[in-house]
């Protein structure tokens, strides 16, 4: 290869919707890049309370549309196009989860920290707004709630 030839490296390293436990280490390793000076990582966990009244969560499950992973990839592609992303990874869990379980892990590597923070924030915000994943919560007071893409 000539010295002027450029190699194309796909910045989207990992995109998945899974029914198995998520790994922060897997996502972090996926975005390692020699030219990245900043890596931002966001981890969303199941908390012990939620809903309009802040009631105790006794059960929680995520359900995804069959096209959720494709929608997640489109979100990732848009973030990679809008920021100087060197590497990006996003994984969301579906199925029944317990308090403390990881629900979503996203990470972005960029040349500088400010870019990494901005890209990571856009990634998680757009994922929540655009990817068809729904959260069903049950509360200790006997109520339940469905939260759709856009607020989960």
Question: DSSP letter string over 19-49?
Answer: SS---HHHHHHHT--TT-SEEEEEEEE--SE
Identify the pLDDT of residue 53. Answer: 74
- Domain locations in the chain as residue ranges: 13-147
| CATH class for the region spanning 13-147 | alpha beta
Considering only the C-alpha atoms of the chain, give the largest distance between any 2 of them, rounded to a whole number of Å. Answer: 68
- Could you say which DSSP state residue 143 is in? -
How far is C-alpha 79 from the chain's CA centre?
Answer: 12
Sign of CA dihedral 20, 25, 31, 33: negative
Identify the pLDDT of residue 1. Answer: 34
Identify the pLDDT of residue 51. Answer: 67
Can you give the pTM of this predicted structure? 0.90
d(CA 106, CA 113): 15
pLDDT of the chain, 152 residues: tens digit per residue: 333 433 458 999 999 999 999 999 999 999 999 999 999 999 999 999 986 678 899 889 999 999 999 999 999 999 999 999 999 999 999 999 999 999 999 999 999 999 999 999 999 999 999 999 999 999 998 888 898 754 44
């Amino acid at each position: 290869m000539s010295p002027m030839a450029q190699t194309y490296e796909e910045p989207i390293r990992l995109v998945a919707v899974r029914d198995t436990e998520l790994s922060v280490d897997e996502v972090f390793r996926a975005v390692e890049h020699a030219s990245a000076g900043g890596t931002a990582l966001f981890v969303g966990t199941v908390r012990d309370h939620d809903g309009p009244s802040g009631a105790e969560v006794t059960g929680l499950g995520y359900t995804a549309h069959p096209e959720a992973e494709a929608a997640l990839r489109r979100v990732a592609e848009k973030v990679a196009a809008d920021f100087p992303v060197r590497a990006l990874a996003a994984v969301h869990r579906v199925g029944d989860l317990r308090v403390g379980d990881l629900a979503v892990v996203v990470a972005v590597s960029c040349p500088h920290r400010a870019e990494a923070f901005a890209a990571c924030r856009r990634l998680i915000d757009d994922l929540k707004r655009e990817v068809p994943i729904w959260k069903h919560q049950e509360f200790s007071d006997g109520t339940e709630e469905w939260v759709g893409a856009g607020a989960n």
